[in-house]
Amino acid sequence: YTRLNRIKHFLFCLQEHQITDPEEITPEIISKYVTTFISLSSKSVQANLVAVRCFLRHIYLKGITTSDMSEKVPAQKNYYAPKIPCIWKPEEVRAVLETIDRGNPTGKRDYAILLMVTLLGLRASDIKALRLENIKWDTNTIEIIQHKTRNAIVFPLLKDIGWALIDYLKTGRPQTASNHIFVRHNAPYEEFAPNAAMNRILVKYIRQAGVKIKREVPLGLHALRHTLASTMLAQDVPLKTISEVLGHMSVKSTDIYLHIDFKRLRECALDPDEVASYE
């Protein structure tokens, strides 16, 4: 979407308001135009504001208008309204997880991966980087340095995730020299590349499950993180806790979410004795 396209959109807006003379452009008209895109991403809002500002400055310098209306284009901080994250319904998440064939190695891997996203909110980059030493079986925790923030974070090793990992590591993961937990299941069985698109895993099972996701809900793993955050808020979990679980740099990053209870998660953690007996 180019700057020219954005300017054309502005001109179309002027036409809708029956503005035929550039001198008729007012701060009110500019404000009305801004309201047509304030729900877009921060980057898109900024691009639209810059395009309008440049256009109005240009026609002023060319002598087409007597007033520099570019000065009337508001700053982004005054108008930007972040999108409310799109979330999945619980039954949609359940249907996708239940359709995974956990009787084959790839299914075991994919099930463990998707559980980590849906129950802990791990980013794809952190899942790809997850190593065997990050799983602390003796303390029932997963300890990582987050790729995006470089912050250290400790997650509880939930029972469902723990058993899924055990199943994969013992009966699904191919023999490999890699110490990454999740590897490709085609020779030479290496870890996922940093730029590998893990969204394909989710899309594969969405199609198999026949789940009809609303058009506005993204099909990527990030939407599952949004869903977890929303669930946490619904359970009255403080934004600070949600921010820590999702690995945000600031609590402000979670202001757009409205509820998980870390204590409740920990209560669901694996019993070390169960792991020992399984081994």
Q: What are the boundaries of each domain within the chain?
A: 3-79, 90-267
Average pLDDT over residues 236-254: 53
Active-site residue, 148 included: yes
Active-site residue, 225 included: yes
Active-site residue, 222 included: yes
Question: The whole model's pTM is what?
Answer: 0.60
Pull the structure tokens for residue 180.
């990454």
- Residue 205: pLDDT over 60: yes
| 68 against 235, higher pLDDT | 68
Q: Over the stretch 159-177, which tens digit does the pLDDT of each residue have?
A: 999 999 999 999 999 999 9
In the set 108, 123, 128, 226, the catalytic residue is 123
Average pLDDT over residues 14-37: 89
- Residue 94: pLDDT over 80: yes
Contact 31, 49 (CB under 8 A): no
Average pLDDT over residues 115-125: 87
- Domain covering 90-267 in this structure, CATH number: 1.10.443.10
The pLDDT value given to residue 255:
41
In the set 148, 200, 214, 252, the catalytic residue is 148
In the set 111, 168, 205, 257, the catalytic residue is 257
Average pLDDT over residues 138-142: 91
- Using CA atoms, how far apart are residues 15 and 24, in angstroms rounded to an integer? 11
Active-site residue, 200 included: no
In the set 6, 109, 226, 248, the catalytic residue is 248
In the set 72, 222, 259, 266, the catalytic residue is 222
Kindly report which listed range (14-23, 81-90, 104-113, 120-129) carries the lowest average pLDDT score: 81-90
| 221 against 254, higher pLDDT | 221
- Residue 51: pLDDT over 50: yes
